[in-house]
Structure 1
Amino acid sequence: MAEIEFYYASSIISRRQRAPLQRLTFVALVENRAYDKRVEARWRGEEGEWQIAPAHYVAPYGDNQEVWRAEVEVMLADERPLPGNVQFALVVNQQGRETWENNGGVNYTIEADAGVIVGARHPVALLDFRPRLEPEQRIVPVTVAVFGRAAQVAIEWSTDGWQTKQRTACSLARRHWDQLELSNARNPNQYAVGVWAARLRIREAFRVEYAIVAEIDGRQHWENCGGRNFSVRRDSFKVLILNLHCYQEDDQQAKLTTIAQAIREQNIDVVCLQEVAEHWNDGAGDWASNTARIIHEQLPQPFYLCNDWSHRGFDRYREGVAILSRYPFLRTEARYVSASHDPYDIHARKVLMGQINAPGIGVINLFSAHLSWWSHGFRTQFDALRAWAERRATRHVVATLLCGDFNIKAGSEGYAHIVNSSDFEDQFLKATDRATFDAIFRRRQEHWQGALAHDGRIDFILLKRGDKLRPVAAQRLFVEGSYGRVSDHEGFLVTFEPV
């Protein structure tokens, strides 16, 4: 395997702008020998000096290669001609060494407005690969460059891990570049490279995997990402739980800002908050001081908020729960799960439900809960919450998540009650210690409590057993070395993907 390979390049003169614009693309396959690397295209036009175009990482390729792409745009101006015909080479710097791919020392060349050329080892190349699906995306465009006389080109693809597969034929449009860029590039071009295109109708699938097959001069050629298939997927679904500590923190506003920063930077989809506070104001509340609202205002919009309160907290605040969601609420509902509904009783506990439709996953019911201690009613409150969640888990709901501060330690009598209910399972534990999770929730191993003796959590994300989500990562977010302390709770972030 070469440390750097030429995959494809393109040169197009677009006439869609106020002045002609030449767009150059250089794509390399780079062996991944070190995380820290620099990849560049070195190029020059007909009359210009050699220039450097930094490349950016696109996606993995095969077992140990990566796709890197460099792009250059030059608009015609009085003082700046278009590059025209271009010479180029590709360079990678890693492990303190510079390696060139320069066509055996004579450089590669591509004529102005020529379309695409491909590397000698890649007669079939995927163009403009983008591994991320947008939230509302339902169609995946696939564009392929093929060297030689291709009788047919097709995409074989699957949205269920190849349990089933489909085949979609590609088409060769002679006016491909004219329609796309008002370009004069021919298709196929003078380099015998034709551009073929297809559209995969994936609907609401979370992930699509595909490979390209082309029949060239009577032989079948596959481009399947070095044997791994190309994969395009939506972002994972991220859920954060955090008890805000009811305005008891020093530098409270700064800490609320830190929470909003973490939600933005971690691309979190749903946040279930407890001890959400606003000034009591003779029981009428004060929305301007509501801590969930303050966080919400610092998030990119649209972001959605539902909120409700349970009781008077710390003798000064309306205290309750909230849910922040990147996706609109299909429905919301709040109800007491405690016997007491007295707003002056701290054991009056109200839970908030929000239902959303997460792209690529489906309808999810989320419950933001702050329950009492075991000795003050946890058992009956949890049973009421569980029964409510079961009633709302209708046929179209793919997952139910009970989230929040349950006020019972991992491994305690209250935690054992959750385990013995057999309905809901600890997703942070499943993501971070699968062996212990299986011993507790699958095998019911004797004396399992000892495995959680040093766990210390009282905040949990519980998924209904058998639902179509699985945790793939988890972390404590508001701790030293991450975002720092913002509350007397650490904040737990769990990342999910569909089963």
Structure 2
Amino acid sequence: MKILTLNTHSWLELHQLHKIRVLADFILAEDIDVIALQEVNQLIKAPFVETDHLYSPLTERPITFDNFALLLSQFLQEDGRTYYWSWAESHEGWGIYDEGVALLSKHPFIELHTIHMSDPQYDYKNVYRRCALTARIHVKNQDLWVSSAHMNWWERDGQQLFQHDFSSLNHQLHIFAQNTPIILAGDFNNDANVQAEGYAQILQAGWHDTYSQAAHVDGKYTVHKNIAGWENSTEAKRIDFILTKGLNAPVLRHRVVFADNTPEAISDHSGVLVEIAL
């Protein structure tokens, strides 16, 4: 089984349609099972569109014609491949976008949920309002849960954010999953090299990092420059993870793709592609 995570930085990239096409071609070439995306944007004022049977709605906000995940799904369908997908909005982005997270899967969604993890004081216009999208699928004779999350920073503007949100996410995932294995992928906005903050909390909660588990590792860092939320940080960081819990299967390979400091970049984050022996 292959799973890809990518913060798409959608519609904030030059040549956006071309980059969606590049991503679609990569998914097809690698035959990826599950794609977890973050910063999946659509213009708030764009025209609404009708969606097809591959889309599972979880939101009252209509899908607009420029939704990044919709366009990716359409490119994949043009090549004759079926990927089921869903999208959940987190907050208003840059004053003009519905910003959210998405999942695409070769395997039908058996069950699907939006997990709201942030303090209720943060309304839709607040960037600190965060959610995750989680789905139960069936792969190789077993059920598992897959989730796409875009987490808050450890601390911002004097506010403690990650600790609350991850505790909430972890708790809710376990309610849904019970004893079923979970794969949690996304942009965690916490540097794995920083001690005693978000990454430590993740490990203390019993999650396993595929970067540490993989038999073969190609690449490490997923951000190499200053980006939104990390304006004063220019050193390389590993903040995009694919995590597992309860998954008794070897991790064969952990690979950084579309490296953000190379000509192959399609976002301000690199992607992470993991292959698991399922």
**Is TM-score (shorter-chain normalized) higher than 0.5?**
yes
Does the residue aligned with 1:292 lie in a helix, a strand or coil? helix
Shift of 1:286: 4.7
Q: Does 1:262 align with 2:13?
A: no
In the aligned structure 1, how far is the partner of 2:213 from the partner of 2:2? 15
| Residues matched between the structures, number | 238
Letter in 2 for 1:403: A
Task: Work out which of the residue numbers 368, 374, 378 in structure 1 matches 2:162.
Answer: 378
Shift of 1:480: 7.8
Q: Does 1:292 align with 2:72?
A: no
Task: Work out which of the residue numbers 425, 436, 443 in structure 1 matches 2:208.
Answer: 425
Distance 1:480 1:375, change over 3 A: closer
Does the residue aligned with 2:155 lie in a helix, a strand or coil? helix
Shift of 1:354: 1.0
Letter in 2 for 1:290: N
Shift of 1:483: 8.0
Does the residue aligned with 2:115 lie in a helix, a strand or coil? strand
Q: Percent identity?
A: 32
In the aligned structure 1, how far is the partner of 2:30 from the partner of 2:260? 16
Distance 1:475 1:257, change over 3 A: same
4+ aligned runs moved over 4 Å, structure 1? 282-286, 480-483
User: Cα deviation per residue 1:426-478 (whole Å; 9 max; x = unaligned)?
Assistant: 112321679xxxxxxxxxxxxxxxxxxx86211111101x4222210121111
In the aligned structure 2, how far is the partner of 1:480 from the partner of 1:285? 31
Alpha carbon RMSD of aligned pairs, Å? 2.2
- Using the size of structure 2 for normalisation, the TM-score is 0.80
In the aligned structure 2, how far is the partner of 1:286 from the partner of 1:471? 35
In the aligned structure 2, how far is the partner of 1:247 from the partner of 1:429? 33
Shift of 1:318: 0.1
Does the residue aligned with 1:288 lie in a helix, a strand or coil? coil
Given that residues 427 and 463 in structure 1 are in contact (C-alpha distance below 8 angstroms), is that contact kept between their aligned partners in structure 2?
yes
Task: Work out which of the residue numbers 248, 252, 255 in structure 2 matches 1:468.
Answer: 248
Q: Does 1:416 align with 2:197?
A: no
Letter in 1 for 2:171: A
Q: Does 1:359 align with 2:140?
A: yes
User: Cα deviation per residue 1:311-356 (whole Å; 9 max; x = unaligned)?
Assistant: 1001110000000000100010002100035110000001111110
Q: Does 1:337 align with 2:121?
A: no
Distance 1:311 1:245, change over 3 A: same
Task: Work out which of the residue numbers 303, 311, 317 in structure 1 matches 2:91.
Answer: 311
In the aligned structure 1, how far is the partner of 2:11 from the partner of 2:102? 15
In the aligned structure 1, how far is the partner of 2:261 from the partner of 2:25? 15
Given that residues 285 and 318 in structure 1 are in contact (C-alpha distance below 8 angstroms), is that contact kept between their aligned partners in structure 2?
no
Partner of 1:243: 7
Given that residues 216 and 253 in structure 2 are in contact (C-alpha distance below 8 angstroms), is that contact kept between their aligned partners in structure 1?
no
Letter in 2 for 1:374: W
Given that residues 38 and 150 in structure 2 are in contact (C-alpha distance below 8 angstroms), is that contact kept between their aligned partners in structure 1?
yes
Given that residues 88 and 133 in structure 2 are in contact (C-alpha distance below 8 angstroms), is that contact kept between their aligned partners in structure 1?
yes
- Using the size of structure 1 for normalisation, the TM-score is 0.45
In the aligned structure 2, how far is the partner of 1:252 from the partner of 1:322? 17
Given that residues 37 and 186 in structure 2 are in contact (C-alpha distance below 8 angstroms), is that contact kept between their aligned partners in structure 1?
yes
Given that residues 306 and 354 in structure 1 are in contact (C-alpha distance below 8 angstroms), is that contact kept between their aligned partners in structure 2?
no
Distance 1:478 1:385, change over 3 A: same
Distance 1:481 1:426, change over 3 A: same
Q: Which has the higher contact order (CA 8 A, sep 6+)?
A: 2
In the aligned structure 1, how far is the partner of 2:261 from the partner of 2:132? 32
User: Cα deviation per residue 1:172-227 (whole Å; 9 max; x = unaligned)?
Assistant: xxxxxxxxxxxxxxxxxxxxxxxxxxxxxxxxxxxxxxxxxxxxxxxxxxxxxxxx
User: Cα deviation per residue 1:8-40 (whole Å; 9 max; x = unaligned)?
Assistant: xxxxxxxxxxxxxxxxxxxxxxxxxxxxxxxxx
Partner of 1:486: 266
Structure possessing the higher radius of gyration over alpha carbons: 1
Task: Work out which of the residue numbers 372, 394, 404 in structure 1 matches 2:186.
Answer: 404
In the aligned structure 1, how far is the partner of 2:202 from the partner of 2:18? 36
User: Cα deviation per residue 1:109-147 (whole Å; 9 max; x = unaligned)?
Assistant: xxxxxxxxxxxxxxxxxxxxxxxxxxxxxxxxxxxxxxx
Structure 1 spans left out of the alignment, 5+ residues: 1-236, 435-453
Does the residue aligned with 2:32 lie in a helix, a strand or coil? coil
Letter in 2 for 1:405: D
Shift of 1:371: 0.8
User: Cα deviation per residue 1:214-269 (whole Å; 9 max; x = unaligned)?
Assistant: xxxxxxxxxxxxxxxxxxxxxxx000000011311000100011010110001100
Given that residues 280 and 286 in structure 1 are in contact (C-alpha distance below 8 angstroms), is that contact kept between their aligned partners in structure 2?
no
Does the residue aligned with 2:128 lie in a helix, a strand or coil? coil
In the aligned structure 1, how far is the partner of 2:265 from the partner of 2:132? 25
Partner of 1:458: 239
More strand by share: 1
Letter in 2 for 1:417: Q
User: Cα deviation per residue 1:368-399 (whole Å; 9 max; x = unaligned)?
Assistant: 1001100040111111111111112234x2x2
- 5 Å-filtered alignment, 1:18-417, equals 237-281=1-45, 286-299=63-76, 300-340=80-120, 341-360=122-141, 362-376=142-156, 377-395=161-179, 397=180, 399-412=181-194, 413-417=197-201
In the aligned structure 2, how far is the partner of 1:388 from the partner of 1:469? 23
Given that residues 6 and 269 in structure 2 are in contact (C-alpha distance below 8 angstroms), is that contact kept between their aligned partners in structure 1?
yes
Partner of 2:53: none
